[in-house]
Amino acid sequence: MENNHNKVLLETRRLKKYFPVPAGYLHAVDDVNLTINRGETLGIVGESGCGKSTLGRVILRLHQATSGDVIYDGMDINNFSDDEMRKMRQKMQIIFQDPYASLNPRMSIGQIIEEPLKLHKMYKTEAERKARVEELMELVGLPMRSYNQYPHEFDGGRRQRVVIARALAINPEFIVCDEPVSALDVSVQAQIINLLMDLQRKMGLTYMFISHDLSVVKHISTNIGVMYLGQLIEKAPKNDIFEKPLHPYTIALLSAIPSTNVLKKSKKIILKGEITSPINPKIGCRFATRCPFATEQCTKETPQLKEVAPNHLVACHRWQEVADGTLKYE
């Protein structure tokens, strides 16, 4: 138990984030319990609107949670003051999806990477800061001549390298990567994925990697969590998610990924039914409207996330039947 405590870097307990909308409350993150171990990558997958980005932001307190706890390294950061939080942010950083929107067009690359060092007063002299910036540029594979260039001179892949260098400047331990490669072309995407994995090995970083692209998530993650309409519905080591998924939504999601394998055509599961609204959702399983296996119990009782095999958590009333193979999509 003692040992286990040391391993966990971040934990959320019953974390909720509701946004007020004219019709009531939009349940963007609803009762999410998860843990991330030191040095691992937790991949979060789900479709647009499932709350995966909001979850990342609530964890970093870029949004204040409606209720629930975020425990980082044993500290409940949800109740931290702004000052305390500013210190915490040296340890936690975020990389956003759009490298075009996240760089100030009027600052040079050198200034952009230097800014967090100034904000956190990490070096005394300008020369020391410059040396650190150059070190970071080398780390992420940016040529030194870029120091005085501006973001508009860069393509998406190189901009994302700048964003990564800036995030790493103050030696964080934990980085939320929110769709960091989705805006990039595949050939460049591979460069950035390799860079992120390489940096993790070198610096012992912990990632929460949010993406809708399941093949990217599988490549980079240790564990994978699947979200559906604000809730975490399944979480397991990556191979368990792909080899023996237990939630009917996970199964449908995996089958829908277009495969480049031209010899083995897999059958797609085409889901029917409408997606439930995340505004004032009713009690019951949120996937029930699209789930071919939904029973009366599913519409009356919200399934809780529980550990059904070592490290394999699922929130489904009928997981046992899925595991036994008695419930199958046609």
Q: Site residues (CB under 8 A) for other proteins?
A: 47-48, 155, 157-158, 185-191, 193-194, 212, 214-216, 218-219, 242, 252-253, 255-263, 265, 268-271, 275
Give 189 or 302: the residue with its C-beta nearer to other proteins. Answer: 189
Query: What H or E segment, with its residue span, contains residue 238?
Result: helix 238-243
Amino acid identity at 205: L
Give 7 or 268: the residue with its C-beta nearer to other proteins. Answer: 268
- Give yes or no for a contact between 36 and 42, defined as CB atoms under 8 angstroms apart: yes
The CB-of-185 to other proteins minimum distance in angstroms stands at 4
DSSP line for 98-115: -TTTSS-TTS-HHHHHHH
The CB-of-91 to other proteins minimum distance in angstroms stands at 28
Q: How crowded is residue 305: how many other Cβ atoms within 10 Å of its Cβ?
A: 20
Decide: residue 94, CB within 10 A, 0-12 exposed, 13-18 middle, 19+ buried: buried
The CB-of-115 to other proteins minimum distance in angstroms stands at 25
Strand, coil or helix: 235: strand
The CB-of-198 to other proteins minimum distance in angstroms stands at 9
The CB-of-97 to other proteins minimum distance in angstroms stands at 14
Give 17 or 52: the residue with its C-beta nearer to other proteins. Answer: 52
Q: How crowded is residue 280: how many other Cβ atoms within 10 Å of its Cβ?
A: 12
Give 127 or 263: the residue with its C-beta nearer to other proteins. Answer: 263
End-to-end CA distance of the chain: 43
Give 8 or 197: the residue with its C-beta nearer to other proteins. Answer: 197
